[in-house]
Amino acid sequence: MRGWGANVWDAAGIECWAAAHRPELPAAAGRFAGESGALLSAAEAAARAVGVHWIDTAGFWLAIAQGAAGAGLASALRSMSVTQQEIEAWFAAINESNIRPRESYRMTPHLQAFLAAADRAVAADGRDRVRPLDIILAFTDADWERHTDQRKPRPTDNLLDLFDRRGLDIDELRRRLVAADADPAVADDFEQQRLRRMSRRTPKRQTLELAPNPLGYDPWTRFPWGAGFARTRDRQHLNVEGEVWFFQIDGDGFYIRAPDGRPIGYRYRMEPPPRIRRGQRVIRPVNGFMEVLPMPPVEMADWPDRRFSCDE
């Protein structure tokens, strides 16, 4: 799931949280005990410093750029121009509508899916600890998405997506991270790579009118957005002719709707196309990433006004 989503916890997310906040209970942390828990704590501090109230992959990238996972990984990022300043600029660009202070710093379902992938990879290798490198390799190695209005697949990591469009060689970034983790001294010899400037374009969102949420706010002013499975009254994922539906959720935790009441969301086909990247399939959304969906053909759970997040 690309977006931020509702308050959903994955087992890997719970274990990583326990590693950071309950270090006296190592059994609760599973394979995330130690370095990974410390990295989450650093990511939470980084999020607090840039003024956001959630922890997604960019918070981990920022913590690593600040040196939370060692000087070698930080140097490898700098050599590819993935610097603390560039990441903070990314946060500033998305943070204009993040106007509601929060006391909690929840990990997004998006991040937790990556943590689960890192945990599976470590278990398959027969190791007993997830290390920071394992987590960021889960970001770089994830399946890429192809959207119908784009020429090439996109990384599912939001920060890598932007940097990829600015010319970041993600394969080379991965190679340098692995090398610097094995021997931090080699990072001093990496050739400096530069990113292109990102051209400013009129946001696509201005062409889509949305209904106010139940609190009366325009969803375009209530970030971060997320997404969740559209679920029927019997709690099944809505599947219409082989297409699984997702509904967008605004930063206040409400479903986003068009003025006529139809849901805003996206649809994926169950069977991915036979296109391969790094030996993995690329999943295609049906009609672009976000659209005004038809009204659901059956009665839905939690529709239309349930609130999924209630931080005040």
Indicate the domain borders of the chain: 11-189, 204-292
pLDDT at 149 over 50: no
pLDDT of 178: 97
> Are β-strands 54-55 and 226-229 bridged in parallel, bridged antiparallel, or unpaired?
unpaired
Q: Whole-model pTM?
A: 0.67
Mean pLDDT, residues 109-129 taken together: 93
> At 196, is the pLDDT very low, low, confident or very high (cuts 50, 70, 90)?
confident
pLDDT of 99: 47
Percent of the chain with pLDDT strictly greater than 70: 79
Higher pLDDT, 151 or 108: 108
Helix, coil or strand: residue 218: coil
pLDDT of 243: 86
Is the separation of the CB atoms in 224 and 106 below 8 Å?
no
79: left (phi over 0), alpha (psi -120 to 50) or beta: alpha
Q: Is 133 exposed, middle or buried (0-12, 13-18, 19+ CB in 10 A)?
A: buried
pLDDT at 147 over 60: no
pLDDT at 270 over 80: no
Q: What angle do CA 262, 263, 264 make, to 5 degrees?
A: 125
CATH of domain 11-189: 1.10.1780.10
Amino acid at 197: R
> At 232, is the pLDDT very low, low, confident or very high (cuts 50, 70, 90)?
very high
Q: Which residue has the tokens 């609190």?
A: 215
Mean pLDDT, residues 299-307 taken together: 88
pLDDT of 103: 55
pLDDT of 143: 81
Tokens linked to 179? 């090398």
pLDDT at 207 over 90: no
pLDDT of 109: 81
Mean pLDDT, residues 18-29 taken together: 93
pLDDT at 280 over 80: no
pLDDT of 116: 94
pLDDT at 108 over 60: yes
> Which range has the worst mean pLDDT, 253-267, 270-284, 291-305?
270-284
Q: How do residues 24-80 score in pLDDT, each as one tens digit?
A: 998 999 999 999 999 999 999 998 898 887 888 999 999 999 999 999 999 999 999
pLDDT at 279 over 70: no
